Chains A and B, each alone.
Chain A
């Protein structure tokens, strides 16, 4: 099956610093990746859609200057949380759409737990 990895799995940072999270599709090329945020005991909220070679499409209410997304290759998308604050602490999950898949499914990474002190 399709495998998506994320790195790091956990990160703790100080308030005001920036954190980069990587999302990789390991055995397929993903032209489209998605970034979600999940607060404790809540659902996944789509933050943005990342398209290879073009600008990301952000959902309403998500600050594009705070959550920088780069999809520089067909197997890698990165999310950078800039000037992180404690309220940015959350579980960030990426997913990738597999071209040519027979079903409209997204393959999810294992998530990154961000804690901002």
Chain B
């Protein structure tokens, strides 16, 4: 089954506004991570939140996790044009040595100057 479904698929906002992206998943997880990808480039790790955490901050990023609803949100405050990118959530639901990440479909964020 698909793990890590983000919504919206695309989001367009003005510079200075906040951007909120959501991610839902289906199975139990160890942690959930958010990554950023500029067009045609590799992924950059943004933030990791463990299953026993509910909220985490890093600079202009705020991530929440609701394990009862199997959902997470990524909030980018005071957005900048340079934040334009695709954002993916990824879940780690493996056990023992079988570690792997399952990525969602991503949200394409466009921040207009």
A-side residues, CB < 8 A to B, are: 4, 6, 32, 34, 36, 41-46, 49, 91, 93, 95, 97, 103-111, 113
Q: B100 contacts A49, CB within 8 Å?
A: yes
Known: A104-B92, A105-B48. A32 touches B42 (CB 8 A): no
Q: Name the residue on B nearest A110 (C-beta).
A: B42
**3 closest residue pairs by CB, A with B:** A108-B43, A110-B42, A108-B42
Q: Name the residue on B nearest A1 (C-beta).
A: B45
B-side residues, CB < 8 A to A, are: 4, 30-31, 33, 35, 40-45, 48, 88, 92, 99-106, 108
The SS class assigned to the A binding surface is strand
Q: B42 contacts A46, CB within 8 Å?
A: no
- Knowing that A32-B99, A108-B43, A110-B41 touch, tell me 6 more A-B residue pairs with CB under 8 angstroms: A4-B42, A49-B100, A93-B42, A104-B48, A107-B45, A111-B41
Hey, which chain B residues are within 8 Å of A4, CB to CB? 42
* Distance of A19 from chain B, by nearest CB (Å): 18
Q: B48 contacts A46, CB within 8 Å?
A: no
* Distance of B41 from chain A, by nearest CB (Å): 6
Q: B100 contacts A34, CB within 8 Å?
A: yes
* Distance of B90 from chain A, by nearest CB (Å): 8
Known: A93-B43, A105-B48. A46 touches B102 (CB 8 A): yes
Hey, which chain A residues are within 8 Å of B108, CB to CB? 41
Tell me the bound Cα distance from A91 to B105 in angstroms: 15
Hey, which chain A residues are within 8 Å of B105, CB to CB? 42-43
Hey, which chain B residues are within 8 Å of A103, CB to CB? 48
Hey, which chain A residues are within 8 Å of B31, CB to CB? 104
Q: Name the residue on A nearest B4 (C-beta).
A: A43
